[in-house]
Amino acid sequence: MIIVMNGKTDDADVEKVIHKLYEMGHKVHISRGERRIILGVIGDVENLASVPFYAFNGVEEIIRIVKPYKLASREFKDFDTIIKVKDVIIGGKEVIVMAGPCVIENEKQIFETARYVKASGAKILRGGAFKPRTSPYSFQGLGEEGLKLLAQAGEETGLAVVTEVMSVNQIELVGKYTDIFQVGARNMQNFVLLKELGKTKKPILLKRGLSATIEELLLSAEYILSQGNYEVILCERGIRTFENYTRNTLDLSAVPVLKRLSHLPIIVDPSHATGRWRLVSPMAKAAIAVGADGLLIEVHPDPRSSLSDGAQTLRLDTFTQLMKELSPIAQAVGRELGTSAENDLERMKN
């Protein structure tokens, strides 16, 4: 249930309502807008009928939310959540591109990629230090050494960085080096991990599970939100269907659906969704056209030698071309895309 209060209500009057809800055994989450203040009430709301909340100063409306996800819903917050990471705004007018290798292999690879994607217009550097692989014999990542290289590359280029955290006991370590925690598809319903990440102060990039419904994705986000961390970024990365030509089936309809159901920003990962580098560009363009707030794209100096997911990874020059082609699409739907630093690109080529 939510209690809607006038945005001009005195803080003391708002606190009176909150204090009463606490007395009744409820948790309260506050969303402040210019015109109204929304109190999200979590708990057994049956006893609220016994209290005349309309008698409290500033209370305008009481709404029962029937959706199982409360804090992630549009009813709780009818304006879009904006997440700031360093000087990057996720969920605003600009489409944010996160780019980098699937896995960090060595210093040369991550630094070369970071410099190139920055010059092409990317705003966030991605790279895996701990890699959950289907086969236990596949390369699992460099661990902390990889995290250090990622952080150093981000610091040199000025890019924010995002990397995956796989378990609760990695949160402190990964948190030392990253700006955004990524929760992979296989961990979308690792509720213990989600609750602990909800106690942190860093944004969370939450990937949709391999066979998860949209509601299940939002309920996973709810675990994070319920612990006090409201900076959640949803990620559509394809779901498992009967089709096996592509690695997964990219559910682009999820973008407008999530925009309608939730206030959280949504990005699309066309690399994992398709598993084929030739399909990354058209799906990235389509993602922007349907309203995605950003893209997560795998890029490598030499995908053929990549230790992970080379088949779905773009070369540096292919990524640069994609960024040029994305810009007019973003403009056509009323968005903006980070422009490439042409001089930097020319210098790097020479």
Residues near 216 by Cβ (< 8 Å), separated by ≥ 6? 188, 189, 209
Q: Is it the case that residue 229 has pLDDT exceeding 80?
A: yes
What is the distance between the alpha carbons of residues 234 and 232, in angstroms, rounded to a whole number?
A: 6
CATH of the structural domain 83-349, one choice from 3.40.50.720, 3.20.20.70, 3.40.50.300, 1.10.3470.10: 3.20.20.70
- In the block, which residue shows the tokens 């319903």? 189
pTM for the full model?
0.88
Tell me the C-alpha distance between 282 and 117, whole Å: 19
The CATH number of 2-63, from 1.10.10.60, 2.30.40.10, 3.50.50.100, 3.30.70.1140, is: 3.30.70.1140
- b/e map 238-273, b = 16+ CB within 10 Å: bbeeeeeebbbbbbbebbeebbebbbbbbbbbbbbb
Give 137's DSSP letter: T
Phi, psi of 75 (to 5 degrees): -65, -40
pLDDT range class, residue 347, cuts 50, 70, 90 = very low
**pLDDT for res 254:** 98
Q: How many CB atoms lie within 10 A of CB 199?
A: 11
d(CA 103, CA 215): 30
pLDDT band at residue 138 using 50, 70 and 90 as cut-offs: low
3-state SS class at 69: coil
d(CA 250, CA 252): 6
Phi then psi for residue 267, to 5 deg, are -120, 165
Alpha carbon distance 300, 70 (integer Å):
40
Mean pLDDT of the chain: 92
Asked if pLDDT for residue 321 goes beyond 50, the answer is: yes
Residues 74-100: tens digit of each pLDDT = 988 888 999 999 999 999 999 999 999
Please check the confidence at residue 67 and state whether its pLDDT lies above 90: no
d(CA 349, CA 116): 10
Which helix (H) or strand (E) segment holds residue 297: the answer is strand 294-298
User: Given a cut of 90, is residue 65 above it in pLDDT?
Assistant: no
Query: Which residue type sits at 140?
Result: Q
Model pLDDT for residues 179-208, shown as the tens digit of each residue: 999 999 999 999 999 999 999 999 999 999
Whether residue 158 is predicted with pLDDT greater than 60 in this model: the reply is: yes
Domain residue ranges in the chain:
2-63, 83-349
For residue 344, give both structure tokens. 């930097």
pLDDT at 256 over 80: yes
Query: Between vectors from CA 290 to CA 288 and to CA 294, what angle results, nearest 5°?
Result: 35
Q: What's the pLDDT score for residue 341?
A: 46
